[in-house]
Structure formats: C-alpha cells, structure tokens
Amino acid sequence: MNKASWNKDDLYQLYSTPFIDLIHQAHLVHRAHFNSTDMEICSLLSIKTGSCPEDCGYCPQSAHFKTGVKKEKLMELAEVIKQAKRAKDAGAKRFCMGAAWRNPPAQEFSKILEIVKAVKALALEVCMTLGMLTLEQAEQLKKVGLDYYNHNLDTSPNYYKRIITTRTYEDRLETINYVNIAGLNICCGGIIGMGESREDRVNFLLQLSKLPKPLKSIPINRLIAIKGTPLEKATIIDNFEFIKTIACVRIMFPESIIRLSAGRHEMSDEMQVWCFMAGANSVFYGDILLTAKNSTIDRDKRLFKKIGIEAFTMQEK
C-alpha cells in the first residue's frame, strides 16, 4: 500500500488487527527493508536549557511551568564537542542537539552554525531541533553540513490545540516545509499518551504521511508525565496500544528509521523488545534525554546482548 492511498479506514483496520497478527505483519515489513538485528544508536544533548517561551503541556523546559529546570545559556563549543566525542565513543551514529527556543535568536545563530560544522567534522551525523526556522536559516544549516532537522508534529491537528497554544500546527508545518526546500532530511514524529484518543493517533499518523517528502527518521515518544507540567497526571497509555502504534508506523513507513525515544526509562525490557519486534530500530543512548531520565547505557547494552541486537551497524538492505 503506497503512501498516497492511506486513509482513516485503513488505519482503523490496522489498529483493530489482533495484536499478535499486527506485530507479525509489521515485523515482516521491517525485515523486508532492514536487518532485524540492527539498531541505530543516537545521542541527544540539550545545548540550551530552560526558559522556553512556548507552553507545550508536556515540556519541563517551558517558562510557563514550575518544574525545577534551571535556565542555562547556550553551551560553549568546547563542551558540545566533548559531549559529541563521548557519544561517538559510546557507539552513537547520530548526534542530536536541542535548544529550548521558540526560534533561534539572530545573535546566537552564528554559534549554532559553528557547532554544526565542528560536530560534523567528528564524522557523526548531525541533527538539531531549535524551534521554528526561516527558510534562510534552514538553508544556512544545510550549507554547513546539518544532516537532519527535527521538528515534531506531536499529535493530531485537533488535539494539538489542547496541548500547545503559543504555536500553531500551521507554524510547525511551515518550518517542515522550509527544511524540505533547503534539502535537509526531515526528522518528525510525536508523543503518544498525552490523553489523546485512538482517532487522534490515526489523524496524527495520516498527517505524517502527508508531509512533503518521505520521512527518513520518525521519533515516537511515550509521554513522560513530569511534575509541574499540565500533563503530570495524564493517564498512562496502555502498553499494547503504544506497541500497536509503533507497528502501524512501521507498516505505513516501511523505509523510515523509527526511533523509540522518550519514555524508555519507564518501559520494561520486555515492552521495549515488543517495540523492536514491531519495527522500532533506533534509540537514544545516554542516562539523560534533554532533561528527563532515559534508559542507561549499561542497561541498553545488557538488553541488546540478551536479544542479539547489533547496536552499532544499521545498514539498510
């Protein structure tokens, strides 16, 4: 089934497939495009933390909420390089950097470009998430060697309004369009478990399928309900529903890297393996994911060894 043919009925049918059958179907799709024992390892670093003017209801870095996250200025180049080298030594293929901005300040953007060039020189893939971009900024990032730009849609267009009020869905789509025009790879996904319905999850996945070009990288996050945020008391999503969502993403996007992102710290090893079986083939290494807890490197290494995952190769068929 090609991208243009996906509709709500298709996705509802997928979601209603018995769990084992759906995972089997997704795994067959996965094996047709990737080695089933490969895992892409990425690292994510917050290079500018806290005091973000956006009010994303899940984010501890928002200036609107009291979560205990301290405001920090843009990290110095030497420290970024130190962290990038450490990530590479731990096995990371891609080094991702996030800054808590609505959009990159003009006075800081030249420093961002220098950071990209320096990390790229380490023979790492480079990804950044800096908020909204202009077309000129996207083109400058491409020129200095940025490989991926992450800009998540988060959820469906309708449910989005209940999570964020300071930035519209159209704003997000505009930045993604600029990233596409500039020739950067698009990294775009969302957060599952923010209280959305299955209909919202269906509409979110359909929106991903309508983006300007096929996605190379899709991060799927499980909400971390952080104290002080509006979603701190969100009902935890059913594990089977989350795994089914991973499977639906794999079937819809057979050639994309699907990253099991935030929320792994709270997942059992068995749940993570089900997600890998369903088609997730990338994770973030490191004890901290921006400002939240992540599955530790030692835990990941033990798990990968138990299940025969090769965590440093990731070669497409």
Q: Which one from 94, 167, 172, 259 is the annotated catalytic residue?
A: 259
- The CA distance from 45 to 97, in Å, is 5
Q: Which residues pair with 190 in a beta bridge?
A: 154, 220
Q: Exactly one of 56, 188, 248, 275 is catalytic; which is it?
A: 56
Which residue in the list 42, 96, 248, 275 is annotated as catalytic?
Answer: 96
Choose among 305, 309, 260, 248: nearest CA to 285: 260
Q: Is 59 a catalytic residue?
A: yes
248 is catalytic: no
Selecting among 94, 167, 172, 187, the annotated active-site residue is: 187
Catalytic site residue 56?
Answer: yes
Q: Is 52 a catalytic site residue?
A: yes
Q: How far apart, in whole angstroms, are the C-alpha atoms of residue 198 and residue 208?
A: 15
Q: What is the DSSP letter of 291?
A: T
Structure tokens at 221: 């996050």
- Cβ contact 141:104 at 8 Å: no
DSSP string for residues in 217-279: EEEEEEP---TTSTTTTPPPPPHHHHHHHHHHHHHH-TTSEEEE-TTGGGS-HHHHHHHHHHT
How far is Cα 228 from Cα 65, in angstroms, rounded to an integer? Answer: 6
Q: Which of 42, 94, 102, 127 is catalytic?
A: 127
Could you give the CA distance from residue 226 to residue 109 in angstroms, rounded to a whole number? 30
Task: Select from 126, 134, 220, 209 the least CA-distant residue to 179.
Answer: 134
Q: Is 188 a catalytic residue?
A: no
Which residues are marked as active site? 52, 56, 59, 96, 127, 187, 259
